Amino acid sequence: MSLTRKQKQTLENMIEVVQTEADIVKLDYDTNPTDMDSGSAVIVHQDSPLLQNEDEKLGDIALNIQPNSNINDYGDDDWAAPQQEEE
């Protein structure tokens, strides 16, 4: 399947827009690094005020939920570790 000249131009324009947005996100992160822990996730509900108001800051309305740490001597969660037999 080959693309028409117009389709190729449209695709190139879209690539440029996505790359520009990615550059803006990277620059923003470099300028304002996160204070979240590694592996953290941010979930935004479809009705969140963050999507309605660009001036709203995540830190103003977010909750930081810390998962329980069940890391054992093997460096894994308990469910992934070999079970010790009871004597």
What is the reported pTM? 0.44
- Return d(Cα 13, Cα 79) in angstroms, integer: 48
Q: What single-letter amino acid sits at 16?
A: E
Top-confidence residue, 76 or 56: 56
pLDDT of residue 61: 67
What are the structural domain ranges in the chain?
Answer: 5-80
- Phi, psi (deg, nearest 5) at residue 16: -65, -40
Question: Is the per-residue pLDDT at 84 higher than 70?
Answer: no
The mean per-residue pLDDT over the stretch 65-86 comes to 58
Q: Using alpha carbons, list the distances in angstroms from residue 58 to 34, 42, 44.
A: 11, 9, 9
Question: Nearest to residue 71, comparing CAs of 83, 84, 80, 82?
Answer: 80
CB 50 within 8 A of CB 58: yes
DSSP state for residue 80 in the 8-state scheme: G
